[in-house]
Amino acid sequence: MLPERDRIRMQHMRDHASEALAFTKGLDRSALDKDRKLALALVRLLEVVGEAANKVTLETRLAHPSIPWAQIIGLRNRLAHGYDSVDLGILWVVISKELGEVIKSLDEAL
């Protein structure tokens, strides 16, 4: 059983990741170049996913190795601290190719 605070943080992760997917539904990579608001919103959503992941206890992280904790937290750090050099191509790959599996793993853990 998950500690309540970890469950809440993992729900935040899932909800924000799902919102990022919803924002990009039906779009292609060029949408990020054309719509600055979209790009900024996606960066923020992934920052929140990473911040919530960082606050999940080590015990819970170890109990759910299918969730790429280090990568999620690392992405958050890169987005927050490398704000002036965000690679939208990488952001798109994360959202379009990897985020669905993260959501699936979070759903299974929850």
> For 22-75, what is each residue's pLDDT tens digit?
999 999 999 999 999 999 999 999 999 999 999 999 999 999 999 999 999 999
Q: What is the pLDDT of residues 3-20, one digit of tens each?
A: 999 999 999 999 999 999
Catalytic site includes residue 81: yes
Catalytic site includes residue 76: yes
Burial of 58 per CB tally in 10 Å (0-12, 13-18, 19+): exposed
Cβ(88)–Cβ(39) under 8 Å?
yes
User: Which residue among 12, 14, 64, 76 is the active-site one?
Assistant: 76
The confidence score (pLDDT) of residue 83 equals: 80
Residue 73's CB: how many other CB atoms inside 10 A? 19
Joined tokens for residue 76: 């958050």
